[in-house]
Amino acid sequence: MPRLCPVRVAIAAGAVLWAAASVLGYPKPAAVAQRWELQFEPGPLRLIVDKPTSTSYWYFTYKVTNRTGHEQVWAPRFTLFTDAGEILTSGRRVPGRVTADIMELLGNELLENQNQIIGEIFYGREHAKEGLVVWPALNVQVNELSMFVEGLSGEKAAVRHPITATEVLLSKTLQRDYLIRGNAPARGSKPIELVGQSWVMR
């Protein structure tokens, strides 16, 4: 099964820190969760073109459920890396009109945008939250993408920066790797192929 090139991902995420830390024993998430962890049900990642401006956007839907037994705060951070060297933070450079148009297209009354969804998430399936994430597709001529989802787990680890020697706090983060076969715009809104998923400390 094809996987994202680790060199490209490392460059986008900060190769100096990652490479040096791995030599020193870079921390990995516990095999069995030791801290609270939210249940995450990802939807598809798609590309959409805003017709009035001919601008493209990546968008992603998901459901998150709190089964930890205690109230938690859901303040996620979704970051998208592309093999063009882009680092895209969800919501930035995304007009509110575009988000509203996507939500109307999806027709899910329970769906919340990136700002609405932030806040307490109560225990139980009946309190699950459904969210929409949007990024500007600055370069659609890409084939590999990695999505990093922070905020799902309370597991953290402190490491020393290999250059500055300052302490860096890492969080257990879900990494989802995607592959676009062929030309992305020509695929329309067809879901992007998921080729891998793993937990990392980031």
Residue 154 inside a domain? The answer is yes
Cα 1 to chain center, whole Å? 21
Strand partners, 37: 153
Of the candidate ranges 23-27, 42-46, 165-169, the one whose mean pLDDT is the lowest: 23-27
Q: Considering the domain boundaries, does residue 20 fall inside one? A: yes
φ/ψ of residue 6, rounded to 5: -60, -30
Q: What is the pTM of this model?
A: 0.86
Q: Would residue 76 count as lying in a domain?
A: yes
Cβ contact 192:44 at 8 Å: yes
Confidence at residue 25, expressed as pLDDT on a 0 to 100 scale: 58
Amino acid symbol at 72: Q
User: Does residue 1 fall inside a structural domain?
Assistant: no
* 27 lies in some domain: yes
Residue 127, both tokens: 């309190």
Instruction: Classify residue 51: in a domain, yes or no.
Output: yes
> Is 124 inside any structural domain?
yes
Number of domains in the chain: 1
Q: What mean pLDDT is predicted for residues 92-119? A: 96
Mean pLDDT of the chain: 88
The Cα 103–Cα 132 span in angstroms is 8
Range of the domain at 173: 6-201
Per-residue model confidence (pLDDT) at position 191: 97
* Extended strands (E) in the chain: 39-50, 55-65, 72-74, 77-82, 87-89, 111-112, 119-121, 129-136, 144-150, 156-160, 167-179, 193-201
CA distances from 80 to 18, 21, 88, 174, 191 (A): 17, 22, 5, 12, 16
Domain assignment of residue 157, yes or no = yes
